[in-house]
Amino acid sequence: FSEDHTFDAVLTADRLESVSSGLVRLAFSQTLPETLPEALLAENLSACPDVSLRRCAIGNNRPYAASILTRGAVTVEDCTLYSTYSALVLGGGLISERLGGGMSKACIAGNRFLNCAYNGGYPIRIRGEHSAYSPYPVNHNVLIEKNTFVLPSRCFLSADSVENLVFRENICHVDKSLPTSNGNETTPFTLIGCKNVVTESAVEDEKNHSRAE
């Protein structure tokens, strides 16, 4: 993968040799160009696992409850997530601290986001680089539905470079007694470089909800 997509291709590796702790030599079936750009990313698509989190409680981590980077399918269902910053972080797309080709599919459903992102960020964060040099979405097919958010303000999702994004049938309970900081977000969504997006406003729910301490 290259910044401007000029060298994007799926190649077959015939041989892999570990030259040193920081150097690997690959031999491909296909003929490569004589020169290649700097900062080229090679990713083994066959080695990207599917990841499933079901009925897990994850929290008190700094900064995230769960951070997942894979091109495989991601499923997060019936979990309770709480942390000081974004509770769930997905995606990548050539960001320096999250090198990867983005994700192909994610379903985030029936979870409880409790008392999270009070120190900044959004409960759900999808990372991806979008610029004039990489104008195409790197993340695809994200469904976020039937989750419950218990938060000090209405902030749910930040997404960069996603194609086919759906946010629907979610419930929000605003609890003003929860702690906040100067970094706490107050807008429901921040979307950058996304295509084919459907977002429904989360339904306000005044029922009592248990919250993470």
pLDDT tens, position by position, 50-95: 999 999 999 887 788 888 888 889 999 999 998 888 899 998 655 5
The pLDDT, as a whole number, for residue 25 is: 87
Q: Is the pLDDT of residue 182 over 90?
A: no
The arithmetic mean of pLDDT across residues 104-118, rounded, is: 91
The arithmetic mean of pLDDT across residues 37-59, rounded, is: 82
Q: Which residues of 64-102 are buried (b: 16+ CB within 10 A; e: fewer)?
A: bbbebbbbbbbebbebbbbbbbbbbbbbbbbbeebebbb
* Residues whose CB is less than 8 angstroms from the CB of residue 126 and which lie 6 or more positions away in sequence, other chains included: 89, 90, 91, 106, 139, 142, 157, 158, 159, 160, 162
The arithmetic mean of pLDDT across residues 97-115, rounded, is: 83
Model-level pTM? 0.80
Q: Is the pLDDT of residue 158 over 50?
A: yes
Q: Which of 98-102, 114-118, 166-170, 180-184 has the lowest mean pLDDT?
A: 98-102
CA–CA gap between residue 14 and residue 80 (Å, rounded) = 44
The arithmetic mean of pLDDT across residues 124-140, rounded, is: 72
CA–CA gap between residue 117 and residue 152 (Å, rounded) = 9
Strands 157-160 and 189-192: parallel
Query: Running DSSP on this structure, what letter comes out for residue 110?
Result: S
* Token representation of residue 25: 């030599």
Q: How confident is the model at residue 121 (pLDDT cuts 50, 70, 90)?
A: confident
Are 189 and 158 contacting, i.e. CB atoms less than 8 angstroms apart? yes
The pLDDT, as a whole number, for residue 132 is: 46
Q: Is the pLDDT of residue 8 over 90?
A: no
Q: What is the mean pLDDT of the chain?
A: 82
CA–CA gap between residue 171 and residue 148 (Å, rounded) = 5
Q: How confident is the model at residue 156 (pLDDT cuts 50, 70, 90)?
A: very high
The pLDDT, as a whole number, for residue 54 is: 97
The runs of H, that is alpha helices, within the chain are none
CA–CA gap between residue 186 and residue 120 (Å, rounded) = 10
Q: Is the pLDDT of residue 31 over 70?
A: yes
CA–CA gap between residue 27 and residue 29 (Å, rounded) = 7
Are 143 and 121 contacting, i.e. CB atoms less than 8 angstroms apart? no
Q: Is the pLDDT of residue 195 over 50?
A: yes
